[in-house]
Amino acid sequence: MPSAPQPTPSVTVIGLGPMGQAMAAAYLDRGYDVTLWNRTRSRADALVERGATFAESAEKALLANELVVLSLTDFDAMYAILEPAKAALAGRTVVNLSSDTPEKARAGARWVTELGGTHLTGGVLVPPPLIGTADASTFYSGPREAYDKHRPALEVITGKSDYRGEDQGLAALMYQLNMVIFWPSMIAYWQAVAMAAAHGITAAEIAPYATENFAGMGHFIDFYAPRIDAGNHAGDVDRVSMGLASMEHVVHTAADAGVDTAFPDAVLDVFRRVVEAGHGADSFSRAVELMAKKEEK
């Protein structure tokens, strides 16, 4: 006898900024029945034309499917949207891909759980154009059973999923650790672009060198990580004093060109503080210890 047809997988996506739209589109591409809700309905128009259903309220969006994906600015937005519809959270699995702190994630998870729902925290590591691709990755944390049950649906969003454990804050923490690397790195690149432009050099001209620079960072990370974990900050390869002099040159070069120096000044300040603490002859990895302590006002 022929096997019974499998039910069509379904999902609700709430929040249709660029990321939410990309996620909903990825589900449609994979044959899911997709229900949408967003404060601004027009953001759903193109997806509805492709076959998605727009719910008339957040409550109806929750009731439409067991699996609900949130793509919002932060957890405050979750409360604002779901509080009026909280009665519909019972029995739902809420995959919250909104960015926020680990503590906010833990509190949000408790709120959903107390209302009878299941919460998974997520942190997506790629921009909207890479949603739905095989090499893209997302951190998840929360109940293992819920993660295992919905993993196929989660891996529609990104082909790789990295489960970090039951603690709802861990995915948010891992996401923020990546953001503390990503944003300053890109600001450093914008600084270089601004300095280049002051000398008539285009962003396209320095792009290959910037790419090579970023690609080489893996070598430094692999070299320093075990030394830092061992408490080894010996100045056998580099010295803080050398970094201090180098950053002074960067700041002066920017200033001479009439370019804003706020960002390199901030980096220079870190080197100065490490030197002032008596570590000028050590590796600049000594800055880790300085950053591990909140400066008292």
189 belongs to a structural domain? no
Query: Do 252 and 127 fall within a single domain?
Result: no
> Do 74 and 210 share a structural domain?
no
Tokens of 87: 């009665």
Confidence at residue 293, expressed as pLDDT on a 0 to 100 scale: 81
Residue with tokens 């589109």: 25
Q: Does 1 reside within a domain?
A: no
CA distance 35 to 11: 6
Residue 253, in any domain of the structure: yes
> Given this model, what pLDDT does residue 276 score?
96
Q: Decide which of 165, 182, 215 is a domain's last residue.
A: 165
Tokens of 106: 């833990």
Range of the domain at 213: 198-291
Instruction: Confirm whether 269 is domain-assigned.
Output: yes
Q: Give one DSSP letter per residue of 16-46, joined into a string.
A: -SHHHHHHHHHHHHTT-EEEEE-SSGGGGHH
User: Residues for the chain: how many in total?
Assistant: 297
Residues 6+ away with beta carbon under 8 Å from 159: 133, 134, 135, 136, 137
Question: Do 122 and 221 share a domain, yes or no?
Answer: no
Q: Are 208 and 266 in contact (CB under 8 A)?
A: no
Mark whether 255 and 111 lie in a shared domain: no
pLDDT tens track for 154-213? 999 999 999 999 999 999 999 999 999 999 999 999 999 999 999 999 999 999 999 999
**Angstrom distance (rounded) from CA 24 to CA 132:** 10
**Residues of the chain below pLDDT 70:** 1-5, 295-297
| Whether residues 33 and 160 fall in one domain | yes
Identify the helix (H) or strand (E) that includes residue 123.
strand 118-124
Both 65 and 134 in one domain: the answer is: yes
Q: 15 and 160, same structural domain?
A: yes
Contact 36, 57 (CB under 8 A): no
Last residue of a domain, one of 146, 165, 184: 165
Q: Are residues 122 and 218 in the same domain?
A: no
Confidence (pTM)? 0.91
Alpha-carbon separation of residue 39 from 15, 16, 19, 62, 72 (angstroms): 8, 9, 15, 14, 11
Q: Is 275 a member of any domain?
A: yes
Tell me 108's DSSP state: H
Q: Is residue 221 part of a domain?
A: yes
Domain count for the chain, please give it. 2
Measured CA to CA, the distance from residue 38 to residue 49 in angstroms comes to: 16
Query: In DSSP terms, which residues pair with 96 in a beta bridge?
Result: 70, 121
Q: Report H helices in 125-202.
A: 144-157, 169-197
Cα(162)–Cα(139) distance, integer angstroms: 5
CA dihedral of 52, 58, 61, 66, whole degrees rounded to 10: 140
Residue 38 CA: distances (Å) to CA of 100, 115, 188, 222, 282: 20, 22, 35, 43, 53
90 within a domain of the structure (yes/no):
yes
CATH number where 245 lies: 1.10.1040.10
Task: Note the pLDDT of residue 7.
Answer: 86
